[in-house]
Structure formats: structure tokens, C-alpha cells
């Protein structure tokens, strides 16, 4: 969105406006751990019947072992299992919580459509711009490590509701 402030045009991302005006922007992060091959490092499912969840970014951090990551949709029903992850509201001081279910080291989902394959070198951080991805109620986004076990792997998914 572009708005005029004085004599200047200012560009603002939708996630910025959602955070400031509605307190509906969130980040979900897994705690670094040593994964096995084919682990779902982090999955976020939209549980809102009112809002769509617009994903903006996925960040992947890997330790000493390179591997491939699959970024995938999950549209089939599944029972979550793993370590619960609470969404952090990006509006400082907000008490609004995310209408989402998120799990690290998740084991209950069935991989759906692959949105991308990401090859991560050892000891790197990789960012994927996911703008354009919309999760409707009960759909999820997952990030799986595929080829190798990885020490100190973590994932952060960021998005907003509208």
C-alpha cells in the first residue's frame, strides 16, 4: 500500500499494517534441535474460520550438516504431534493470540503439494520470500528436512491474518 505523508509517498507492507492496526501479525519459531532425515521441523496450521493466514517469510537455520528442505502445503486432515509452538505477536505489548496450531518436530502430517526445494549448505541461514501464499482454515505450511540429519536446525515462519 502506498500512502502520502506530507509531500512524500510512503510504501507500507500489508504485514506492517496488520501488525500496527489489527495486532494480527505473528511469528512461529522452532527451538534449534538435532533432527533426523524426513523430520517436519515446523508446521503452522491456520485454525481461524474468520481470517485467512497470509505467509510472508520462511527462515531456515542449519548447523554443521548440509541438507535439502521441502517447503510444502498440508491440506489433508491430520492430528498434530510434536512440540507445541506458540505464535509471537509482532505488535509489542499485544495480548492477541494467533488462531493457529503450530508444532516443531511434528510427526502427524502427510506432505501435500511441494512449494519449493531448498538446498541449505552447512552453517547457513536461508530466507524464502513466501508472499502470495494464503492458508485457508485447516490448511498448513510445513518445512521438512529431507536428505540428512541436521544438528542445530530451526525454522521461523512469519505471516498475518486478514
3-state SS track over 38-104: CCEEEEEEECCCCCCEEEEEEEEECCCCCEEEEEEEECCCCCCCCEECCCEECCCCCCCCCCEEEEE
Whether residue 1 is predicted with pLDDT greater than 90 in this model: the reply is: no
Residue 7 pLDDT: 76
Whether residue 10 is predicted with pLDDT greater than 90 in this model: the reply is: no
pLDDT band at 117 (very low <50, low <70, confident <90, very high): very high
Whether residue 5 is predicted with pLDDT greater than 90 in this model: the reply is: no
What is the rounded average pLDDT of the residues 6-29? Answer: 91
pLDDT digit string (tens) for 94-116? 999 999 999 999 999 999 999 99
Average pLDDT, the chain: 93
pLDDT digit string (tens) for 26-68? 999 999 999 988 899 999 999 999 999 999 999 999 988 889 9
Residue 57 pLDDT: 98
Residue 109 pLDDT: 92
Amino acid at each position: 500500500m502506498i500512502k502520502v505523508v506530507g509531500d512524500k509517498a510512503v510504501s507500507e507492507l500489508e504485514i506492517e499494517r496488520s501488525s500496527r492496526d489489527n495486532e494480527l501479525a505473528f511469528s512461529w519459531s522452532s527451538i534449534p534441535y538435532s533432527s533426523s532425515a524426513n523430520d517436519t521441523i515446523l508446521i503452522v496450521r491456520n485454525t481461524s474460520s474468520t481470517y485467512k493466514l497470509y505467509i510472508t517469510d520462511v527462515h531456515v537455520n542449519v548447523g554443521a550438516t548440509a541438507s535439502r528442505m521441502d517447503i510444502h502445503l498440508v491440506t489433508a486432515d491430520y492430528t498434530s504431534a510434536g512440540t507445541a509452538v506458540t505464535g509471537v505477536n509482532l505488535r509489542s505489548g499485544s495480548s492477541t493470540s494467533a488462531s493457529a496450531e503450530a508444532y516443531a518436530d511434528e510427526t502427524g502430517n502427510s506432505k501435500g503439494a511441494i512449494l519449493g526445494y531448498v538446498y541449505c549448505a552447512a552453517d547457513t541461514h536461508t530466507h524464502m520470500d513466501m508472499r502470495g501464499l494464503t492458508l485457508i482454515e485447516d490448511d498448513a505450511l510445513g518445512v521438512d528436512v529431507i536428505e540428512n540429519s541436521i544438528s542445530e536446525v530451526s525454522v521461523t515462519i512469519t505471516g498475518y491474518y486478514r
